[in-house]
Amino acid sequence: MSRAFTEQQVTALLDYFGETISINGSTDITVIFEQEQIVIDGADGLIQTEQMYFSTKQGIVNLEDTFTYNYKNYQIYDISDDLSGIVNVYYREI
């Protein structure tokens, strides 16, 4: 039994919840923007921050690719693949 989504399932999910962005100014892809909270228990108390990422189809973005969103430029620095057919893509402002 495969734990991966089918191509049709991935496309349906992204089309329903996603937004279109342009990778490297030339390739349009559909993504779902997400964020996760990170809490670190430090010596001075809890430190809380948010990590921004988007989910998209596996195999269509690469490390160091760039995109613009809300008039800001971003670069991909990590791609997390859980073998489901959808990857989480972490990015930072440049």
Single pTM value for the model:
0.87
The Cα 88–Cα 67 span in angstroms is 15
* CA nearest to 23, candidates 54, 68, 63, 72: 68
DSSP state of 6: P
Is 60 exceeded by the pLDDT of residue 1? no
- pLDDT-based confidence at 2, cuts 50/70/90? low
Cα-only R_g, the chain: 15
Query: Which CATH architecture describes the domain 7-93?
Result: Beta Barrel (2.40)
Domain boundaries, the chain: 7-93
Q: Give how far Cα 87 sits from Cα of 58, 68, 71, Å.
A: 5, 19, 24
User: Hey, which residues does 89 pair with through a beta bridge?
Assistant: 54, 79
Residue-wise pLDDT for 16-38, tens only, equals 999 999 999 999 999 999 999 99
**Per-residue pLDDT at 78:** 98
